[in-house]
Amino acid sequence: MVILNSVDELLEHIKEVQLDVIDLSNQSLLSMSSYIEKNNLEIDEDISTALQYQDIITQQLNATIEAMESMKKSIHRFNHAFESDENLANESLTKLQEKLTLTLQDAKEKKNRFSGKLVEDNTDTDEIEFF
Amino acid sequence: MPLVIFVDDSETALASTRMVTNSMPIEVKQYTEATIALNEIKAGMTPDLIITDLNMPVMNGFEFLQGLREVPATKRTPCLMLTTETKAELKQQGKALGLTGWIVKPFNPAQLKQAITRVLRLPA
């Protein structure tokens, strides 16, 4: 289906942009941390937190990349079913919708999981917990 | 000096921990892959404390912990999880695997220092 092929291409493009952003933010933070280490600069809590944001950015973007890959797979399956038998289109569309809903739920759950203390719901979480 | 190993697939996360530990009286080794750290432990490395991330490709923090507990030398080595995950079920899973503690990212440098000092019983 032509429209789904366009969505697929768009997802691929967004995925590539996000991978570039991960790479750039990683390089930028590594340069800064290398400068701090070389010059023996002491960092306070704010700077430490800022440096750690990169890890969270990477995990968040990777989670959305996984969601896009899952969407692309579902679209490919639908297209394959549609091409082999157009009469199955309605059934395949329902399946596609179900898959996309699951992908969205999973992506939202990961957004919360990978935010650490940055999410409001998690602010009560003890930073360090000993067992 | 006690040996502390850090395992995290994020190089910037490792750099952040390095900035905290460089003034401490400890030897630090860092790994971006748990499998490499585990192989070195199997080959004879005996860390006094292991601090690992949970979500990592190839081998995650729990799989790493399981592997550590199968090696006689690290069967009881203290191990802290340093992660963005905050779910109680995951903490319980870690506790059942013999985890010493759970640290949520982004961590406070002073508190990470205190945690290492406490586990290794270093002079405060």
Collect all residues of chain B within an 8 Å Cβ-Cβ radius of residue A66: none
Average pLDDT for A93-116: 84
The distance of A105 to chain B (nearest Cα, Å) reads 17
Collect all residues of chain A within an 8 Å Cβ-Cβ radius of residue B11: 26, 30
ipTM of the complex: 0.75
What integer pLDDT is reported at residue A123 of this predicted model? Answer: 52
Of the candidates B91, B106, B110, the beta carbon closest to that of A129 is on B91
Instruction: Write the CA distances from B95 to A95, A125, B66, B80, B106, integer angstroms.
Output: 39, 17, 12, 10, 21
Average pLDDT for A40-61: 88
What integer pLDDT is reported at residue A97 of this predicted model? Answer: 85
- SS3 of residue B7 by DSSP: strand
What integer pLDDT is reported at residue B116 of this predicted model? Answer: 96
- SS3 of residue B101 by DSSP: strand
What integer pLDDT is reported at residue A112 of this predicted model? Answer: 79
Contact B112 A128 (CB under 8 A): yes
Which residue did the predictor score with more confidence, A26 or A120? A26
Query: Residues B57-84: pLDDT tens digits?
Result: 999 999 999 999 999 999 999 999 999 8
Tokens 């961590």 -> residue: B107
Sorting pLDDT into bands at 50, 70 and 90, what band is A121? low
